[in-house]
Amino acid sequence: MYIKKGDNVIVLSGKDKGKKGKVIKALPARSLVVVEGVSVHKKHKRATRSDSKGQIIEIAMPINVSNVALVDPKSGKATRIGKKLVGEKFVRIAKKSNQTI
């Protein structure tokens, strides 16, 4: 999977198309990512004790990695990812601007 935790991504399809956010969690085994502020669902939480109240919590749900693309650091638009050998190490680069990510 080419998208990692901490990457800035843009949503390509779905109800949140066009939104940008940071990857909070990556689930490579299931090809899912959790992006902050994207695919937010409301969850009703029951009161755990008699003196506490129930509440509605907003949780960011995972979306498929194929529905997001990395944001180009130079232009701010969606870009693909490539690898480049720098010294003895490979680094990820944005295909549009050829800058390291």
Judge whether 13 lies within some domain. Answer: yes
Residue 36, token pair as written in the block: 């902050």
Q: How far apart are CA 44 and CA 53, in angstroms?
A: 11
CA 74 → CA 62, 78, 87, 98, distances in Å? 27, 11, 23, 9
Judge whether 101 lies within some domain. Answer: no
Q: Dump pLDDT digits (tens) for 6-61.
A: 999 999 999 999 999 999 999 999 999 999 999 999 999 999 888 889 999 999 99
CATH of the domain at 37: 2.30.30.30
Judge whether 86 lies within some domain. Answer: no
pTM listed for this prediction = 0.82
Q: How many other C-beta atoms are found inside a 10 Å radius of the C-beta of residue 6? A: 9
Q: Dump pLDDT digits (tens) for 48-68.
A: 888 889 999 999 999 999 999
Judge whether 27 lies within some domain. Answer: yes
